[in-house]
């Protein structure tokens, strides 16, 4: 496997764990303001990010490459509102989409077809990630500061199920 591609995938293992860490931190905030449904939604989101990290982890191992785990940056711990959290989540997913696209570019350049197949899965996954997080932003904008509506949204988010493994 090409060195630049291997390094980029190792970086992405860290980036996906960093995403998980950010969502766990957001969940902690939601717990602190008594929004367990939002917290649950974020726990499921974190779990997905760990699975994303492991997809790169497994791919590197299957290709006979060495996984080298890196330090994970501290996530933000203070948030002002649920809307701010949703907007930050959407921004995080847009950042990750950019990271995936950059790795894809290397895989194309290097004619690494298995890596391209893996990254195609991620490209489609990012469409979904941006869609679900931007939906949350829009719904929170609709709800505004209406406590009863926030509690109802919280109850709905409590029902999020983990996605089926592909």
State yes or no: residue 52 binds Mg ion (CB under 5 A): yes
Contacts of 41 (CB under 8 A, 6+ apart): 136, 157, 158, 160
Q: Rule CB under 5 A: which of 77-136 touch Mg ion?
A: none
Choices 3-11, 28-36, 48-56, 145-153 (CB under 5 A): range interacting with Mg ion:
48-56
Q: How far is the CB of 52 from Mg ion (least distance, A)?
A: 4
Applying CB under 5 A, does 40 fall inside the site for Mg ion?
A: no
- Using CB under 5 A as the binding rule, whether residue 18 contacts Mg ion is answered as no
Of residues 49 and 154, the one with the C-beta less far from Mg ion: 49
Residues 128, 93: Cα–Cα separation, whole Å: 10
Q: How far is the CB of 155 from Mg ion (least distance, A)?
A: 26
Three state DSSP letters for 77-116 = CCCCCHHHHHHHHHHHHHHHHHHHHHHHHHHHHCCCHHHH
Rg (alpha carbons) of the chain, rounded to whole number:
17
Binding stretches for Mg ion (CB under 5 A): 16, 49, 52
């Amino acid at each position: 496997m090409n060195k630049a591609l291997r390094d980029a995938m190792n970086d992405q293992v860290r980036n996906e764990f960093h995403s998980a860490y950010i969502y766990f931190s957001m969940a902690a905030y939601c717990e602190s303001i008594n929004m367990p449904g939002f917290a649950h939604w974020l726990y499921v989101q974190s779990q997905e990010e760990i699975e994303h990290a492991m997809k790169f982890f497994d791919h590197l191992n299957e290709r006979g490459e060495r996984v080298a785990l890196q330090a994970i940056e501290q996530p933000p711990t203070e948030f002002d509102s649920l809307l701010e959290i949703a907007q930050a989540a959407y921004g995080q997913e847009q950042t990750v989409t950019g990271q995936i696209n950059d790795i894809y570019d290397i895989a194309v350049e290097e004619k690494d077809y298995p890596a391209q197949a893996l990254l195609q899965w991620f490209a489609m996954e990012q469409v979904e990630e941006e869609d679900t997080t931007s939906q949350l932003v829009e719904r929170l904008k609709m709800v505004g500061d209406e406590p009863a509506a926030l509690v109802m949204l919280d109850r709905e988010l409590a029902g999020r199920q983990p996605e089926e493994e592909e």
